[in-house]
Amino acid sequence: MPSMLSDGTVPSHIGELLPYQPGKPIEEVRRQLGLEHVVKIASNENPLGPSPLALKAMATDQTVLSRYPDAACHKLTSVLAEQRGVPQDEIVATAGSNELIGLAMRAFCQPGRDNVVMPQYSFISYKLQAKAQAIESREVAPVDGLRCNVEGILAQVDEFTKIVFVAHPNNPTGAHLSNEELATLIRKLPARIVLIIDEAYYEYAVVSDDYTSAEKYRGDRERLIITRTFSKAYGLAGVRVGYGISTSEITGIIHRGRRPFNVNTIAQTAACAAASDDDFLKASQKQNTQCIAEMQSLFDELNVRHEPTRTNFILAKFGPASQSVHDALLNRGLIVRPMANWGLPDYLRISTYHENDREFVHRILREVCAS
C-alpha cells in the first residue's frame, strides 16, 4: 500500500504539518543522558509548582469523577466573571487557552478562503493550528528589533482576514505592547475582524507599571477576545484550563464549535480554587520578578544579549553558537528551549527557575558560556 501521506488520503495541509515540539521532558533527558540531576526551564512553567489551594481542591470529592463534567463550567465562569467584573456569559472556559485559539479559528474562518494575521516570531501555536485547519496565516515582520509592528498588522489585513492574533506579552520575545500601541490596534483594526489579545502571561505582566491589559479597552471594540490561562502564574499547565473574555455573542459562537465537556471536572475544580488563591498568585509574581532580575544580571555578566520581558522567561541571543550552547547545557542537565523552529535560530528561550535550582542553573550557564 502507498503511504496515506502520498496517496491523497491525508490532505496536504495536514501532510505538510510537523507536530508541535514541546520542551524535552525531564524523565526523557534523565534516561537518554544517564543524568541524575536535570532541571527544565524550557516551557514557561511556574517554578513554584501548582497553586496549593488547587491541589487541595483536586484531592477532595473525587466521587464526582464518575459523572460527566459540568459542560457549561458554571462555577468556574461565575468565579471568573466576579473576579473580572463582567457578566458570566462573557467568559468562556476551555482546555487551556490553546484550545480557545483553535476554536476561534474554527468558529470564524472558512478554510481555504480566509486568513489570520499575526506578528512574526509569535506564539507558534497560532500558525500550527491555522495550518491544521487549512487556514492561511500571514506573519507581519517586527519593528525595532523584535517588537510587534502594529502599523504593519493594520496594513496586512484584507477582506478575507477574520482574526488578528497578538500575544501581549508575547512568547517567545517577552515583549508587550505599549498602551498606545494596544489602543491603536484595538481602535484602528477594521471592526469586522476578531482581535485576539492573548494574555497568557497577564498575571506576571500586570505587576509592571507600563503594562495595560486589553480589558481596559473592551468598550472600544466589540470583536475582541482576551485569552488567559491557568498554565502560567497559577501553576496548572498539566491540568489544561484557560478562558476567554469577550462579548456574549462571541462566547456563544465559540460554544457552538467546541466538543462537549471540553474542560474536565478536575480542571474546573482546580481552576476555581486557583483563581481565589491570592497568596499563591502574589508569591508567584514576587518570585518571578526577582528571578527575572537575577537572570538579567547573569546574562549581562556573561555578555549575553537578552530581550526585555514581562513574562516568566527570557529570550537570550547566543548567536550562531546557539545550538551548541543548547546541547552543552542539555548534556549537563539543563533543559532550555531552542528557537530555530520558531524562526529564531540565534536565540534560546530560558524560563525562570526555583530558588533551589539557582546555584545549578547559574553554574551550568557560567560553565557553558566560558567554554
Stretch that binds ligand PLP, among 20-28, 96-104, 138-146, 329-337 (CB under 6 A): 96-104
Stretch that binds ligand PLP, among 92-100, 136-144, 249-257, 343-351 (CB under 6 A): 92-100
Strand pairing of 313-317 and 347-351?
antiparallel
Q: With respect to ligand PLP, which residue has the nearer C-beta, 288 or 369?
A: 288
Which of 47, 96, 142, 333 touches ligand PLP by CB under 6 A?
A: 96
Give the three-class secondary structure for 189: coil
C-alpha cell at 235: 501553576
Which sign, positive or negative, has the C-alpha torsion 94, 98, 99, 100? positive
C-alpha cell at 356: 533551589
**Residues in region 37-66 near ligand PLP by CB under 6 A:** 44
- Burial (Cβ within 10 Å: 0-12, 13-18, ≥19) of residue 319: exposed
By CB under 6 A, is residue 97 in contact with ligand PLP? yes
User: To the nearest whole angstrom, how small is the minimum distance from the Cβ of residue 242 to ligand PLP?
Assistant: 4
**Helices 248-257 + 96-108 axis angle, to 10:** 90
Q: With respect to ligand PLP, which residue has the nearer C-beta, 112 or 238?
A: 238
Interface mask (CB under 6 A) for ligand PLP, residues 158-177, using x and -?
Answer: ---------x---x------
By CB under 6 A, is residue 72 in contact with ligand PLP? no
Q: With respect to ligand PLP, which residue has the nearer C-beta, 129 or 287?
A: 129
Contact 305, 316 (CB under 8 A): yes
Which of 136, 198, 203, 277 touches ligand PLP by CB under 6 A?
A: 198
* Grid-cell match 484531592, residue found: 59
By CB under 6 A, is residue 322 in contact with ligand PLP? no
Which of 242, 244, 333, 338 touches ligand PLP by CB under 6 A?
A: 242
User: To the nearest whole angstrom, how small is the minimum distance from the Cβ of residue 239 to ligand PLP?
Assistant: 9
Contact 272, 280 (CB under 8 A): no
Which of 26, 134, 183, 237 touches ligand PLP by CB under 6 A?
A: 237
| Helix (H) and strand (E) counts in the chain | 14, 13
User: To the nearest whole angstrom, how small is the minimum distance from the Cβ of residue 318 to ligand PLP?
Assistant: 21
Neighbouring-strand partners of residue 198: 167, 227
Contact 64, 265 (CB under 8 A): yes
User: To the nearest whole angstrom, how small is the minimum distance from the Cβ of residue 198 to ligand PLP?
Assistant: 5
By CB under 6 A, is residue 288 in contact with ligand PLP? no
Strand pairing of 313-317 and 305-306?
antiparallel
User: To the nearest whole angstrom, how small is the minimum distance from the Cβ of residue 368 to ligand PLP?
Assistant: 25
**Residues in region 112-131 near ligand PLP by CB under 6 A:** 123
User: To the nearest whole angstrom, how small is the minimum distance from the Cβ of residue 322 to ligand PLP?
Assistant: 20
DSSP state of 143: B
Question: Torsion angle, CA of 127/99/244/230, rounded to 10 degrees?
Answer: -110
Residues near 91 by beta carbon (within 8 Å), at least 6 away in sequence: 77, 80, 81, 84, 243, 244, 245, 251
Binding residues for ligand PLP (CB under 6 A): 44, 96-98, 123, 167, 171, 198, 200, 229, 231, 237, 242
